[in-house]
Amino acid sequence: MTGVNNVCNQCPRHCCANRESKPGYCRVPSGFAVSRCDLHPYEEPCLCGKYGAGTIFFAGCNLQCVYCQNRSVSHADEYVFVSDDTLIRMILDLQESGAGSLDLVTPTHYTARLSTVLRKVRPKLKIPVVWNSGGYETVDSLRRLEGLVDIWMPDMKYFDPALSARFSDAPDYFEVASAALGEMIRQTGIPVFDDSGNLKKGVLVRHLVLPGHRDDSIRLLGALDRLFPDHPFLLSLLNQYTPEFAQDSPYPELHRRLTSFEYGSVLDVADSLGFEGYRQQNGSASAAYTPDFTKSVTDLVERYGCKTRQN
Ligand code: SF4
Dihedral angle of Cα 221, 222, 224, 228, to the nearest 10 degrees: 130
Query: Rounded to whole angstroms, how far apart are CA atoms 154 and 204?
Result: 7
| Residue closest by Cα to atom 2 of ligand 1 | 26
Bridge-based pairing of strands 234-238 and 277-279 is parallel
Dihedral angle of Cα 296, 298, 304, 306, to the nearest 10 degrees: 110
Query: Rounded to whole angstroms, how far apart are CA atoms 141 and 25?
Result: 17
pLDDT by position in tens, the chain (length 311): 555 567 999 999 999 999 999 999 999 999 999 999 999 998 999 999 999 999 999 999 999 999 998 888 888 888 999 999 999 999 999 999 999 999 999 999 999 999 999 999 999 999 999 999 999 999 999 999 999 999 999 999 999 999 999 999 999 999 999 999 999 999 999 999 999 999 999 999 999 999 999 999 999 999 999 999 999 999 999 999 999 888 888 999 999 999 999 999 999 999 999 999 999 876 555 555 667 788 889 999 999 999 997 54
In a domain, 174, yes or no: yes
In a domain, 9, yes or no: no
In a domain, 309, yes or no: no
Cα 31 to averaged position of ligand 1 atoms, centre (Å): 13
User: What is the span of the domain harbouring residue 107?
Assistant: 35-297
Query: Rounded to whole angstroms, how far apart are CA atoms 119 and 134?
Result: 23
In a domain, 148, yes or no: yes
CATH of the domain at 95: 3.20.20.70
Bridge-based pairing of strands 80-82 and 32-40 is antiparallel
Residue 85, Cβ neighbours under 10 Å: how many? Answer: 10
With contact defined as beta carbons under 8 Å apart, do 175 and 228 qualify? no
Count of the separate structural domains present in the chain: 1
Phi and psi torsions of 234, nearest 5° = -90, 155
| Residue closest by Cα to atom 3 of ligand 1 | 24
pLDDT at 288: 52
Q: Partners of 236 in the beta sheet?
A: 206, 278
Query: Rounded to whole angstroms, how far apart are CA atoms 197 and 37?
Result: 24
Spell out a b/e string for 42-78, using b for 16 or more CB atoms within 10 Å of the CB, else e: ebbebbbbeebbbbbbbbbbbbbbbbbbbbbbbebeb
pTM of the model: 0.95
In a domain, 287, yes or no: yes
In a domain, 15, yes or no: no
28 Cβ inside 6 Å of ligand 1: no
Query: Rounded to whole angstroms, how far apart are CA atoms 261 and 44?
Result: 23
Q: Partners of 36 in the beta sheet?
A: 57
In a domain, 28, yes or no: no
In a domain, 307, yes or no: no
Which residue among 4, 19, 64, 110 has the greatest number of ligand 1 atoms within 8 angstroms of its CB, and so is best to mutate?
19
Ligand 1 atom nearest 24 alpha carbon: 3
Alpha carbons within 13 A on the beta-carbon side of 276 = 8
27 Cβ inside 6 Å of ligand 1: no
64 Cβ inside 6 Å of ligand 1: no
Phi and psi torsions of 95, nearest 5° = -60, -45
